[in-house]
Amino acid sequence: MDEFDRKVLNSLQRNSALARADFAQEVGLSESQAVRRRQALEQSGLIRRYRADLDARALGFAVTAFVHVKLKGHSDGNARRFRDLVRLTPGILEAHAVTGDFDYLLKVCVADLDGLRDLVNGVLLMHQTVDRVRSEIALEILRDDHLLAL
């Protein structure tokens, strides 16, 4: 990966919807070279996907929270069942296995406190693998751009 590849990645992570000519100009390459590099980065797996960055609050999702989850046991079966639950549960934006007192940290986004209660009490705590849950509600989002420092 060279400096042009980094420019391509940086440009795409900031705005992947740029017109081809604008994209090429931004990275300092011809259109065909810029497109070839982008395609090569996609094929290598460095670019995983493209998606729209939606405004959660404007769409009615007013509560962002971080939910810590402790499993009842640490068997492969429990971990797999919990991962399946996370994958299938709407409202969970991110899920991370972590060190410390809890096993997982989830970032969730729901419409309101009732939605958070339903997710925590009705989904997570009702699941056979979950022992304990602690949640923290975000009062204000200071940064949410997901840009890697290339």
Does residue 75 carry a pLDDT above 90?
no
Q: Which fold is adopted by the domain 3-44?
A: Arc Repressor Mutant, subunit A (1.10.10)
Dist CA 89 CA 93 (whole Å): 9
**pLDDT tens readout for residues 32-59:** 999 999 999 999 999 999 999 999 999 9
- Residue 145: left (phi > 0), alpha (psi -120 to 50), or beta? alpha
Report how far residue 76's alpha carbon sits from residue 111's, in angstroms, rounded to the nearest whole number: 33
- Give me the pLDDT at residue 79, please: 93
The pLDDT tens digits for 84-123 are 999 999 999 999 999 999 999 999 999 999 999 999 999 9
Lowest-pLDDT choice from 123-127, 128-132, 145-149: 145-149
Q: Is the dihedral of CA 126, 127, 131, 133 positive or negative?
A: negative
The domain made up of 63-137 has a fold known as Alpha-Beta Plaits (3.30.70)
Domain locations in the chain as residue ranges? 3-44, 63-137
Q: How far apart are CA 129 and CA 117, in angstroms?
A: 18
